[in-house]
Structure formats: structure tokens, C-alpha cells
Structure 1
């Protein structure tokens, strides 16, 4: 038997006791309030725990963010919303996904989502904000053509190192948003921020590993080039040509130039000058 069913049965038993005049009305109201408050706290804790699992699973951020958003939305009672990240210029949102919640929304998906209106307040204050009569608010004129009706809205920031780098948007709750909703949404925003940081750390590690592998490959290649001039080098005792590993004979300067970064400039040594150019005094005595 689940906890919710057990509490419901307890409430029914209390109601029966009241009907038999065993419990005063004021005491009954207090008991019911305590049970309902306990149920709410348990529901909140369960949602936070499920959201935490999405962080610990270390999946891609988009997948983690979707799971965190769903748990937040269901707990608070919103029916639509989105998760977005701040773009590189810091002027617009880049939406990861949008949940219309069955409402009609014909906004061009390629339209920019600038940081303005109530959303800008969440970005600038690093705090969750909400409005329960949004269609009558000062920001309604900022909605693009074809946007769904927003009875109420809430924005919870994703804060990293003291700066809001993304946002969870929630809308169209059946009833008004309240301060406790903002508190819960703030907690889920913190979970999403941790998931984002984990994702970025993972990307950095993957990139660092790729760079490490490339560096190791470059070093191995460089070492292989160095080793080309080591070991026994077959050289003709007469013409001094060198035999390469494919069996071809090359002039020694050609071989060394090919297997190293050495460059050659030809000249004549003193012994050869005397033998081949006896009439020319190339070298002074």
C-alpha cells in the first residue's frame, strides 16, 4: 500500500470519528492540515530525489534537463514550459526544448528569444520570479505573434559561478504560482545548473583526451622519424651511396635529407682539392 493511499484512508477514518462527535471540528481541521502538509513535503522530497538522479546519471545535458524539467513541472502543477541556455553573446536564449502542454503555439521556432521582460528579471537577479495574470501584465506586448495564451508564468534561473546561464520557464498552472513554488523551482534550477556543469566538464575531459591522444600520436611519429637514422646504415665503401629499407641505392646526401631536417651545401675538402684541382690554390697553406 502506498503512502498516499494510507494517508487518504487515515483522513477518511478521521472524518468518520468527526461524524460520531468523537473529534472537535477545530482538531479535525488541524489533523487534516498536518496530513496534507506531510503529503506535500513528501511529494516535494520525492520530486527532488528524482531530479537528483537525473544529475547523477551523467547523461547529456539535454536529456538531464528534460527529466529535471518534467519533475519540476509535475510537482508545481504547470502544464507547459521550456529549458533554455544563454547564447555566447549573452543577449538571447537558445531553447533546448519546448513543452506546449496541449496548447496551440504557432510561433516561428527560428525567432530569437531575447533576454527581456519578466525573464530578464530572473537573469539579472539570479532569483525565481512569477506572475499570475500575465496576459494583463506590462510584458504581454513582448509575446511574438502566434504564441500560446499564458495565464501565469514562472522563471527559475540556472546559476553558475554567480551568473545566470540558463532558465527554466513554467506556465499555465491550474491555480496561482506561489512562493513555495518559486522555492521548489529554484531547487530544480540548481539541479539543472549542476547537470550543465557536469556536462561541460565531461565535454572538456573528452576534448582533453582527444588532444592527449593527438599529442601522443605526434610524439610517436616524431620518434619514428628520429629512429630512421639510427641503427646500421648500409653504405657503399667506394661511391658512398646508401641503401634504403626498400633496397634502393641513394646518394648519401639524398638519403639524409629525406630522413632528417638536414640541408646540404656542396663544397670541396682540402684532400679532394689537391687531388682533383692541383692547379687551383683553393686552400691556403
Structure 2
């Protein structure tokens, strides 16, 4: 079965239709080009929508990117997980909606790369991997009972510079996955990671600003009027607790203390020792 375009031209003799000339043209290639152009438009629209999600939560952004990855590759399910390259551990983060509907296996959240199956090969090989006949692979580790049943699989690593920070994959497309699917999935996930990285940087910046404001507020408090005990010289903080003056100043500034004793206190507390030191210094 293939798409065709046909035309029918009547054959007329003496004013009557006595037959027809029918022409069939194979338009498979034209349909392929049209579908490819339509898919390119959908991919561009997805990337545009993704760039407008900066104000959304990280979970909203990753869920959107994952569902679009499944849709654009005409897959039946997908996953998105983060990877700690220093510890060689995978953080299981998100599954597509269709997978969650059918998967009854007990979820795991963290486990080492060595324990992961073929779906993590994209991390091991540091490139996209395609398994178009997953069940026939003899070296697969398998998966738990109730897990999403894999027939075909495409997995890609997500890079930040030369470090792998995540892995994503899609599965069970009706047709075999190809390099075009891998390129488009990589483009989508790289865009997603760029947004997440920027969002995390902004959140860290906001955290540092708040921390700086808090420090400045404490410095301002230190430069103001301090309630100090006339007897023991402890200082009362903003929570009502009395603190040794050196502890309070160290907490609210960069000052450090080296403890010693002044002459008056030495004479008062240790008169014999102080008198001995004094006579020695006079000599």
C-alpha cells in the first residue's frame, strides 16, 4: 500500500463517453516530504514554547519536554533522569504519562550506573544508542515485573560541556528509530537543559542575594545600639538570648578574637602572680 494521485480523462466519441484514461502517480516521496516539513514546524513550535517556560517550575519544564519528545518521535513512552558523573549514580526523575498509566513496577529513585540496563548505554558510550529489536538482545539485563514493555528504544545523553548531566529516552515507535530521531531528541533536550541551567543559576543568584542582605542586616544591627549587661558584659541578641560579646561579634562580623587579660584584671584576679611579673619587668 502506498499513496497515489490519479486523474481520469473521459474518451468521447460522437458526443458520448465511451471510455476513460486513468493515470496513477506514486506520491510516496511527496507525502514523505510534506510530513517531514510538518514535523519540522511542530519541532520549531515546541522549541519556541520551551523557551517561554522560564517562569515555570523545573518539573513543569521537564514534563513538557518529555511529553513533546514522546509525541514528536511518535513513541509510546519516555523517561528523563539526571546523572551524577562524579558518583556514577542515576537519579530516576520522570516518566511520561503513558508509561505511568501502565507501569506497576516499584519505582526506584537512585542507583549506580553499573546496575542500570541497556537504556543507560547512552551514558556508558557517551552518545545516542538505538535498539530497534530490544527483546532479541541477549546481553540485556531485563527489567522488573510490571515495567513498561520495551520493543524499540532510543536513548541519548544530556551534556553540560563535556560532562553528562542526564539521560533521556523514548520507546516503542511503530517504525524503527533512526539518526534523525536521535538528532531531534538531542536538540530538544539540549534546549531543555539550557533553560534548567539558567533557571538554577538565577535561583542560586537569588539565594546569594538574600544571604548577603541577611549579612548586611546583621552588620547594620551590630553598628547600632547593642543591649549589653553592665555586670557580665554579655550582649542580648534579637531573639532575647544573652551571648558572650566575642561570640556575638564573631557571628555578626568577620572579626576574630585572641584571648588575653588586661593589667587591671590581672592585678585584681591574680595579685601575687601579677606583682611578681611586674617586679620582673622592672628589673
Which bracket does the TM-score occupy, shorter chain normalised? Answer: 0.5 to 0.7
Map of 2:5 onto structure 1 = 15
Q: Is the 8 A contact 1:118 1:129 kept in 2?
A: no
Map of 2:67 onto structure 1 = 70
Q: 1:37 aligns with which of 26, 29, 33?
A: 33
Q: Is the 8 A contact 2:91 2:109 kept in 1?
A: no
1:23 Cα deviation from its structure 2 partner: 9.3
Distance 1:15 1:78 in 2: 29
Distance 1:96 1:53 in 2: 22
Larger helix percent:
1
Aligned residues: 231
1:108 Cα deviation from its structure 2 partner: 1.3
Matched, 1:55 2:45: no
Q: Is the 8 A contact 2:81 2:93 kept in 1?
A: yes
The TM-score normalised by the length of structure 2 is 0.67
Q: 1:63 to 1:256 in 2, by over 3 A?
A: same
Provide, for residues 113-146 of structure 1, a one-character-per-residue CA deviation record: whole Å limited to 9, x for no partner: 5424433431144322110111111343342333
Q: 1:176 to 1:141 in 2, by over 3 A?
A: same
Map of 1:194 onto structure 2 = 194
* Paired residue secondary structure (1:108): coil
Map of 1:79 onto structure 2 = 76
Gaps of 5+ in 2: 10-19, 237-244, 247-258, 266-281
Distance 2:22 2:65 in 1: 42
Provide, for residues 237-283 of structure 1, a one-character-per-residue CA deviation record: whole Å limited to 9, x for no partner: xxxxxxx99xxxx97xx59876976987647xxxxxxxxxxxxxxxx
* Paired residue secondary structure (2:98): coil
Distance 2:121 2:190 in 1: 17
The TM-score normalised by the length of structure 1 is 0.67
Distance 1:182 1:168 in 2: 11
* Paired residue secondary structure (1:140): coil
The RMSD of aligned alpha carbons is 3.6
Q: 1:91 to 1:19 in 2, by over 3 A?
A: farther
